[in-house]
Structure 1
Amino acid sequence: MDWRFPALLLGAMVLSIVLSLWQHRRYLAVLNEMAKANAGRSLKLVSGRGKGRLRGAIVILLIDPAARQVVDARVMTGATIFSTLRPAPELLGPLDDVVERTTDKYVRRAIEAALGMLPGATAVPGALADGSATGRIRIPRAQASPS
């Protein structure tokens, strides 16, 4: 039996694991950098993932719930292990229409998943033409305190 094919297969699997860990460490470094830069502020750090068959997206949002604003946003899109989190200035601004500010369907799914992590967020039931759920997220507005 030839030993080269199993050795090559094992080498490819080990390389895949090493590169996956490398990407995960870079993701955690950006996540920790965002958390440290905003420590002490009453902001929420949420992340979401939009999966596809061959590619997907990961979104990290730093949200000010009192002002209902996205303060910082990073997006990772692509199909390879070399994808990195990049700043996404188009997602900064009001929380109410953050999903509509992108055209990438995987980034939209990731944003919706991230917003679903916010306390008090609930999915709005609905259906698309094909019968699947819309995935829209409704975040309750802050109540005005009685004076």
Structure 2
Amino acid sequence: MNTPWTYLLLFLAMSLTAVSALAQHKYYTRTVRRLARENNDPGSVLVSGRGKGRVRGAIAVLVLDKQTEVIRAAAVMEGASVLARFKQRPDWVGLCARDDLPRSSPRLAKAVADARTHIPGRRKPLPTPGSMLRR
């Protein structure tokens, strides 16, 4: 049943997916730039990380004190679609990123841990043989 309408519908679905993914990427970029502009202090570092799940994922964008890893600003996005939006987390400000953070899902905890690995000057943990097979 390969009619021209089938191909047109497939093309439209793929186009909608591409356009919505680009829109979400622009939204992510705007959020990161806004946080960087608002928190442009010496000794601060902006990092982001992701936590993947089977269906849903999470992204954490954190502004940290480079030495103590105390959170100065935080925005998180959780969801399963391109319609997910960043939410500010003022309740995390002043907390250490190494500790368990309030109201965070397991995916969000993974995203924060991943963000901490992106602090400049910090050595990243070496991959284990088993972790290389899971990719």
Q: Distance in 1 between matches of 2:34 and 2:62?
A: 13
Larger RCO (alpha carbons 8 Å, 6+ apart): 2
Residue number in structure 2 paired with 1:91:
92
Whether 1:18 aligns to 2:14 is no
Larger fraction in helix? 2
Name stretches of at least 5 consecutive residues in structure 2 with no aligned partner: 126-130
* Cα deviation, residue 64, structure 1: 1.1
CA distance in 1, matches of 2:97, 2:14: 43
**Match for residue 74 of structure 2?**
73
TM-score (norm 1): 0.76
Q: CA deviation at 1:53?
A: 1.1
- Structure 1 letter corresponding to 2:46: L
Inter-CA distance 96–63: structure 2 relative to 1 (3 Å threshold): closer
Superposed CA offset, 1:7-51 (max 9, x none): 101100001000000011011001001111122432100000001
- Could you tell me which amino acid in structure 1 is paired with residue 45 of structure 2? K
Mark the structure with the bigger radius of gyration: 1
Task: Extract unaligned runs of 5+ from structure 1.
Answer: 124-131, 133-147
- Per the TM alignment, residue 92 of structure 1 is displaced from its structure 2 partner at its CA by 2.0
- The answer as to whether partners of 1:60 and 1:114 remain within 8 angstroms in 2 is yes
> Matches of residues 128-139 of structure 1 in structure 2 within 5 Å?
none
Q: CA deviation at 1:109?
A: 0.5
TM-superposed deviation, 1:88: 1.3
Q: Is the 8 A contact 1:91 1:102 kept in 2?
A: no
Structure-2 change in CA distance of 1:53 and 1:21 (3 Å): same
SS across alignment from 1:39:
coil
Give secondary structure in 2 for the equivalent of 1:44. strand
Distance in 2 between residues matched to 1:69 and 1:33, nearest whole Å: 19
Task: Report the Cα distance in structure 2 between the residues aligned to 1:67 and 1:97, rounded to whole angstroms.
Answer: 9
Amino acid corresponding to residue 120 of structure 1 in structure 2: R
C-alpha RMSD of matched pairs (Å): 2.4
TM-score normalized with structure 2 length: 0.82
> Residue 61 of structure 1 corresponds to which residue in structure 2?
62
